[in-house]
Structure 1
């Protein structure tokens, strides 16, 4: 592929040789010859072009790259395309970033193969495909084996309907204005009391209500990051979060997580290299693995956040399904460097869209300011309904039943998958999910997404490996919602037909 036009090749060749330290950007940054007719390939083309320029020493080690905005402007592409391109080049070691200084050429050869088509592109495309009614709205007729919600009858649907009816009896005086900026005070007081009893001392004014956990992540990113910042994420992890990070112009940086927990050596190397602003982490019942960090691992993670000076955002939406006494970053840290995000989507209903942020007294006012700028207040009707549901006597019993149902179905799901040759990639500690698959590397004809597309035609909605990974998968696996997978003959029959 020709990466530069004739005139820009001459400009690049005429660039001055590097001197000690950072080399200045050439006066005329070459405009890449991007073929826009190749749909979905802009990132591939940019990565390949820059890799070729580095290989030919048109860009020498130490050369400062254009800023994200400069590159986007000179090549007429979006900043998000540039962020993803730079992220790929960082991951293969061709570029490095320095806080406050920008991006620089790091080496003359990539530390890992530069993937210009295939799995990485499919993963990025799948992240977009996943934000469809099939996976999130529940309107599809397909068996929702890959979905993130439980059957309404498991929550106690009549209890929720009663709570909504109760919430609709809102006093006429409360129909004026937009509601309390922090959220419905009674629910915040209830949450603060519950957290103070079970995890850590929290005041009601340290609780900010949101439209679910994703809204909370968005507010945190808006408040604490700027385009070009690096954000650490678990790999595999919650893919909608990765898409959101990229949407803000930030660079998601992978930290491997497996059955034994986080790869702390990788975390230290990534933090030293990228100087991240944030790290998002599921301490308990991680999505998609269902594993939990030990107390020792949580302590080590807090130490690394202190050492490398980044915030920890604890995605704690599965806490009520976890064992009492499991590790809590917020409890260990006291909200000094940790921001805790909660939600009721997994224990009541995702339809209510109520989440929460717990943060320090110094940080919460800025989060509140951003909340008001981005969308004013949240729905008091929804928050009243949640309060009536969680403060009612049956709620605690319902949680107990939920945990037992999940345990039973989790065991059945693992047995069902074993029958078609699939094994968990990590043994879950609890929760809603089992991630399992077959050994052996994927091939162009046989990979997670291709199998998921076949399953959809068969009336089964799957969440394949590519949905949860920043890089290419090394095997073929899927995340299963045990509430729907445990007793699904159609699922067993489908996998029997496609097993290797």
Structure 2
């Protein structure tokens, strides 16, 4: 099954007899081969495994294949990870680490989590699972006026790529606003990005390496799971429910796995709509300090949250918290402008990675955002939007309840209601995905719970956009499924 091959003079590593003509996947073959070697003592307890890159090079597979295989072996208790040192054969293989059950094959495939129809806005299907609101809810005149004004950019600004950190006036405005509302920050600590996803990508590129453990919320924003895996990191889910994060699970995982960072949605969580309490936020910061990992605060719903809701960045002062912001929820996602706020020591490295991977961001888009949010009527528009969303959520909860769906949590605010049937999936092969497939054939775009979790969902549920969840077309469809 295997041969031994020296690697850079540092010992012998397994060269696996991988057969690409077999029906078994490459990951399954690697997991099976190493499991056999550990169980037959060909790899003794404490043996250091090759790094992800070394293993990939030796066996002519991708780093992503190796990360997936190591993650499964870790889950089985055959391998353990040591912070900064890599993976080792576990000294007690019978005792599996306290990581969540591995997702079944395909549960979090990127093609599902990044389905084009969920993001394009161009299809004819009713966008019940989408992450944007109807254009008229955003205050079209405010946005269109800002875009027209931004297009009148001075001719002198058509040379060059723009400021590496982003449009100075927008950074100055953000620094002033955040300093007045949440935490002290200077303009040179604000880095503008192509939306929040670009910001998360820059953080992962800067702070992680393949094989690093990244803690994520479960359920949580599905795109982040795909992004973490894309960087060769191992996402480990921490349960989140109506009461917030499972802090005991978080402490166990942090102690066992030595994570590099955690991605957390403090207020108006996507997809549950809940917010962490002040006590939980303080506990989270204490654990990050104790186990020495970064906290990346997804704060894109802050403007729709209640005053006084917990802010990790405000509590920490940007020492080990990196704050991600965006304007897609209060203006429009089409502008693609986000922001990072970080310590002065970290911003230069984030900026270097930004320039390496894409140079500067669009000054025209950033000018449009600046014109829109500094306009006299912007704050009133956000207040109206919050009220409108509150009414829509109440209608959604009532309407979904009328067709037999129960909320996973009572949302505190924001755009989403997550709800489903109380029965477990699996009856007659039905899952959230099969229901979503049937809905698409009926002209309805749904986002099933599988998009947001690493675990097998205990029930069939969906994230509903509150603007569309009481639509008669949707309710008629759900009645046929219930």
TM-score (norm 1): 0.91
User: Cα deviations across residues 103-127 of structure 1 (Å, max 9, x unaligned)?
Assistant: 122243474999999x6212132x3
- Does the aligned pair in 1 maintain the 2:400–2:469 contact within 8 Å? no
2-side partners of 1:390 and 1:485: how far apart?
Answer: 28
Question: Is 1:458 aligned with 2:442?
Answer: yes
SS of equivalent to 1:484: coil
> How many equivalent pairs are there?
478
User: Cα deviations across residues 335-364 of structure 1 (Å, max 9, x unaligned)?
Assistant: 111110000011100000000001111111
Question: Is 1:31 aligned with 2:28?
Answer: no
Identify the residue that residue 388 of structure 1 maps to in structure 2: 371
| Residues 385 and 368 (structure 1), Cα distance of their counterparts in 2 relative to 1, 3 Å cut | same
User: Cα deviations across residues 446-469 of structure 1 (Å, max 9, x unaligned)?
Assistant: 111111111111111111111111
How far 1:44 moved relative to its partner? 3.7
Identify the residue that residue 459 of structure 2 maps to in structure 1: 475
Question: Is 1:240 aligned with 2:184?
Answer: no
Identify the residue that residue 402 of structure 2 maps to in structure 1: 419
Identify the residue that residue 80 of structure 2 maps to in structure 1: 96
CA RMSD of aligned residues (A): 2.4
Question: Is 1:405 aligned with 2:388?
Answer: yes
How far 1:302 moved relative to its partner? 0.4
1-side partners of 2:97 and 2:408: how far apart?
Answer: 24
| TM superposition outliers: structure 1 runs of 4+ over 6 Å | 112-117
1-side partners of 2:244 and 2:119: how far apart?
Answer: 28
1-side partners of 2:182 and 2:98: how far apart?
Answer: 45
Q: Of residues 365, 368, 377 in structure 1, which corresponds to 2:360?
A: 377
SS of equivalent to 1:339: strand
2-side partners of 1:287 and 1:202: how far apart?
Answer: 26
Q: Of residues 307, 310, 314 in structure 2, which corresponds to 1:327?
A: 310
How far 1:475 moved relative to its partner? 1.8
Identify the residue that residue 200 of structure 1 maps to in structure 2: 183
Structure 2, unaligned runs of 5 or more: none
User: Cα deviations across residues 282-331 of structure 1 (Å, max 9, x unaligned)?
Assistant: 00001111110000000000000000001111000000000010000000
Select between 153-162 and 324-333 the one with higher mean Cα deviation: 153-162
1-side partners of 2:387 and 2:55: how far apart?
Answer: 54
Matches within 5 A, 1:172-321: 172-321=155-304
How far 1:471 moved relative to its partner? 2.5
| Residues 28 and 79 (structure 1), Cα distance of their counterparts in 2 relative to 1, 3 Å cut | closer
User: Cα deviations across residues 153-188 of structure 1 (Å, max 9, x unaligned)?
Assistant: 100112111110000011111111111111111111
How far 1:272 moved relative to its partner? 1.3
1-side partners of 2:439 and 2:364: how far apart?
Answer: 38
Identify the residue that residue 114 of structure 2 maps to in structure 1: 131
How far 1:128 moved relative to its partner? 2.3
| Residues 34 and 417 (structure 1), Cα distance of their counterparts in 2 relative to 1, 3 Å cut | farther
Identify the residue that residue 60 of structure 2 maps to in structure 1: 76
- Does the aligned pair in 2 maintain the 1:156–1:398 contact within 8 Å? yes
How far 1:26 moved relative to its partner? 7.5
Select between 436-445 and 339-348 the one with higher mean Cα deviation: 436-445
How far 1:34 moved relative to its partner? 4.1
